[in-house]
Structure 1
Amino acid sequence: MTCCISAGEQCDPDIHDQDEIAFIYRGFGEVVVGQCVSPVRQGDVVFIPRNVDHIFSNTNPEGDLAFFSVWWPLTEPD
């Protein structure tokens, strides 16, 4: 999946029964994973464990925050 978040915006909260790795390839902002808030910027990699709430926010007032994510397993278990 690829995602591009406009300046000052954030994505909807997400949670799923799959592990996720997000690769930040443009901009900067922050990610909330569970109760942990961390700054992110171009070149960072974020691991998100399965079944943990997460939200990406773009704290840059002038540019996009863009990342792509990989999940596994491919489909959520039943």
Structure 2
Amino acid sequence: MPKNLFEIISEVMNIPISQINDESGAGTIEEWDSFNMYVLLNEIEKEFNIKFLLEEALEIKNVSDFKKQLEKHGVNVNG
């Protein structure tokens, strides 16, 4: 079964899913640093079989931004 976005974030950041919401990002999750952001991008690309453009990756500041970018790539983030 494919992982959902929150599961991937939880694993990469090593935090409980209950601490993640759409506004979660570098300002709210201590573990969300530049290295973990890179790892997170990589894991999401692998899980959903997509590739973010550099411009897209630079726009991502929180979970909501990830959802917007995933939707642009045709990924249903609500299912």
In the superposition, the TM-score normalised over structure 1's length comes to 0.30
Q: Name whichever structure is richer in strand by fraction.
A: 1
**TM-score with structure 2 setting the length:** 0.30
